[in-house]
Amino acid sequence: MRPIIAIVADVIEDPSVNTKPNTVDISPTMFKDTLLAAGGLPIVVPYPSQLSLIPEMVQAYLPLFDGLILPGGPDVDPTLYGEEPSQEIGPANPPLDQFELALIRATYAANKPMFGLCRGSHILNVAFGGTLYQDLATQKKAAIRHLQRTSGEYPTHHVSIVPQSRLHPLLGDRAYVNSRHHQATRRLGNGLRLAAQANDGTIEAFESSENDLVLGLQWHPENLWQEDPPQLRIYADFIDRVSAHRQANLTASLGATVL
Ligand code: MN
């Protein structure tokens, strides 16, 4: 049975919607296609426009999925990691920030794996107490170009994979990746360890040092695996971990019922 993977929806303006607001809740097609190719069953979960609904929605969503995808999106509000906004910060989305932080905490407490990509890895790092570069180009000396001008399905820079990481058996020492970010993880949160970095030292992947529940990735394998098949292993490994935890959580809850 395919494990169910929740993808948090983003909200974007759609000029074809003739109402106010003219927004739609969306998830990029490649998440759906890649999760299906890797053995998962995707569902998309929208956040509420009303902040007061967040706790209730998070608790109601939690039993509906086995693993969580935190996708790319807008900048994380820097006050969430103790900084005032720099001149280079882009628009943040407070309801999305608050919803994802609450969902991350609940998902982690429920022993279900999480996979954050780009902004998704940033909010994951912030949830564990880490910090971000608000703007790599102006805040990090000698940073290479991470906001690629080339179309996003093409790789533009290399990353080195940490030999003892969980990522290493999947990709080997080095990978060639796409790069569509102007922010990046700066100080890793509690219980997180480096898994890959660019040659300018930018953190490109991290994982939990305490369990196999957390993966943060700065690049987008969902746009690369068609030409670079090993990139699909990152999703397949996520699905494997989700399936293992689903089984373990089920066994634990059955055990509790019997007792
Ligand atoms: Mn990059």
Predicted pLDDT of residue 253: 86
Number of residues assigned to the chain: 259
Q: What is the 3-state secondary structure (H, E, C) of the chain?
A: CCCEEEEECEEEECCCCCCCCCEEEECCHHHHHHHHHCCCEEEEECCCCCHHHHHHHHHHHHHHCCEEEECCCCECCHHHHCCCCCCCCCCECHHHHHHHHHHHHHHHHCCCCEEEECHHHHHHHHHCCCCEECCHHHHCCCCCCCECCCCCCCCCEEEEECCCCCCHHHHCCEEEECCECCCEECCCCCCEEEEEEECCCCEEEEEECCCCCEEEECCCHHHCCCCCHHHHHHHHHHHHHHHHHHHHHHHHHHHHHHC
Q: How far is the CA of 216 from the centre of ligand 1 (A)?
A: 13
Predicted pLDDT of residue 259: 60
The structure's pTM equals: 0.95
Q: How far is the CA of 202 from the centre of ligand 1 (A)?
A: 7
Q: How far is the CA of 143 from the centre of ligand 1 (A)?
A: 10
Note if 222 is an active site residue: yes
Q: How far is the CA of 210 from the centre of ligand 1 (A)?
A: 25
pLDDT tens for the chain, 259 residues: list them.
999 999 999 999 999 999 999 999 999 999 999 999 999 999 999 999 999 999 999 999 999 999 999 999 999 999 999 999 999 999 999 999 999 999 999 999 999 999 999 999 999 999 999 999 999 999 999 999 999 999 999 999 999 999 999 999 999 999 999 999 999 999 999 999 999 999 999 999 999 999 999 999 999 999 999 999 999 999 999 999 999 999 999 999 888 776 6
Which residue among 118, 122, 181, 204 is the active-site one? 118
Q: Are 204 and 159 in contact (CB under 8 A)?
A: yes
- Measured distance CA(133)–CA(129) in Å, rounded: 14
Which residue among 146, 157, 181, 220 is the active-site one? 220
Predicted pLDDT of residue 9: 98
Predicted pLDDT of residue 254: 86
Predicted pLDDT of residue 255: 83
Q: How far is the CA of 148 from the centre of ligand 1 (A)?
A: 8
Peptide bond into 46 cis (omega under 30): no
Predicted pLDDT of residue 206: 98
Q: Which residues surround ligand 1, an ion (CB under 5 A)?
A: 146, 179
Predicted pLDDT of residue 118: 98
Q: How far is the CA of 163 from the centre of ligand 1 (A)?
A: 19
Backbone angles phi, psi at 51, to 5 degrees: -60, -35
Which residue among 100, 204, 207, 222 is the active-site one? 222
- Measured distance CA(180)–CA(145) in Å, rounded: 9
Q: How far is the CA of 22 from the centre of ligand 1 (A)?
A: 32
Q: How far is the CA of 46 from the centre of ligand 1 (A)?
A: 27
Note if 204 is an active site residue: no
Q: How far apart are the first and last CA of the chain?
A: 27
